[in-house]
A = this chain, B = another copy of it.
């Protein structure tokens, strides 16, 4: 999840991202003579599906847009290592195309499982690098190294020129999913084209966003949540100003701040759909209040903890 700095980071502004406790689980088992990808998602749109990753031929029959989308990433990982004779099963708690880095998580989880299955012994650094390369190639050159690094290492990442891990305490946030998938490429291109036409307007906006990211780090470290909320609000307005807001996102943001009494709320990710995040007041009753406000504004709320662990090898195949 991007907390601060989306879009502006492309132009060198500081950004802050966090791993959250929504997990993607990938398992691999032998399947002689075949390659199958199964992604029976339990959450939103992924459906059970089996695709030949090399020909692209669909082997299963329960196909939805989101699932086809996710398998493209899994196929790319398998192709990269020439993997055959296996079944990959991926289960995701992350809503696809929501701006929560579901694609990066799928790539990292698949890479982790494949590394163990083929005894590749990839290090976390190698997995993060490889995952970024693969995600970028599937997305025709688009893709933030932050998403794959967060899915790999967990915790928080600050980008200031380059990305690095930063030690900050966990936080409880509420995510509101609009139910509308977004198109990262389209949003990035829209912002870039606006910036190319009006650099004298967009450059200072990006500078302000970068300053917000930097100040936010201090607020999280010091536990100044009310102040952090104000920075959420400021960053949200700046995202609106570069054209990635939508009516639905705005409704969830205002519902969180109003009836939800959140300290602040903003779009997370590329915008144009996807998710917003809100910072609730302390205690479970305030988390519930924000979740209720988002649900009443026709969003899908879920509660997350930021700064959680990244890639983890688990032994129980049953958990998938």
Contact = CB atoms under 8 A, between A and B. Distances in A.
A73 to B, nearest CB: 32
B237 A240 contact: yes
Quick one: copies of this chain in the complex?
2
Contacts of A246: 254
| Majority SS at the chain A contact face | helix
Nearest to A237: B241
A242 interface: yes
B237 A245 contact: yes
Contacts of A237: 237-243, 245
A172 B240 CA distance: 25
A243 B264 CA distance: 11
Counting contact residues on chain A (CB < 8 A from B), the size range is 20 to 34
Interface string A179-199: 000000000000000100010
A258 interface: yes
Interface string A36-78: 0000000000000000000000000000000000000000000
A204 B201 contact: no
A6 interface: no
9 contacts: A201-B211, A204-B208, A205-B205, A205-B208, A233-B240, A235-B241, A236-B241, A237-B240, A237-B241
